[in-house]
């Protein structure tokens, strides 16, 4: 979440609720958070391992860029430390 907040203009964390000592998730991890990226609302959480699936669920986000320069800048930043 923090990575994306720093990457996109007009972005901020709105609210964070963390797991406590007695929670299903590891203490201090995110139970539920809301944040905005360029004024669009997103939600996230650190999923505790209390589900039936044996894979890591993932998401895809669509980002509309103003021009090719913005696209290249975001691609470069999103790719930092990535592996192929």
Q: In sequence order, what DSSP letters do the residues of 44-59 get, joined into one string? A: E----S-SS-SS----
Decide if 27 is inside a domain: yes
Decide if 37 is inside a domain: yes
Assess whether pLDDT exceeds 70 at residue 64.
yes
Its sign, for the CA torsion 39, 13, 68, 61, is negative
Number of domains in the chain: 1
Higher pLDDT, 74 or 51: 74
Annotate 48-70 with b (16+ C-beta within 10 A) or e (fewer).
eeeeeeeeeeeeeeeeeeeeeee
Q: Which domain holds residue 31?
A: 2-47+58-79
Assess whether pLDDT exceeds 70 at residue 57.
no
Decide if 53 is inside a domain: no
Decide if 16 is inside a domain: yes
CATH no. for residue 75?
3.30.720.100
Average pLDDT over residues 14-21: 94
Decide if 32 is inside a domain: yes
Q: Over the stretch 20-38, which tens digit does the pLDDT of each residue have? A: 998 888 899 898 999 999 8
| Phi and psi torsions of 35, nearest 5° | -150, 160
Give residue 53's pLDDT: 67
Give residue 28's pLDDT: 92
């Amino acid at each position: 979440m923090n990575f994306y907040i720093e990457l996109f203009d007009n972005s901020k964390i709105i609210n964070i609720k963390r797991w406590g000592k007695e929670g299903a998730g590891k203490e201090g991890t995110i139970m539920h958070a809301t944040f905005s990226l360029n004024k669009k609302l997103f939600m996230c959480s650190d999923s505790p391992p209390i589900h039936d699936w044996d894979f890591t669920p993932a998401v895809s986000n669509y980002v509309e860029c103003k021009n090719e320069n913005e696209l290249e800048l975001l691609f470069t930043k999103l790719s930092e430390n990535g592996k192929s």
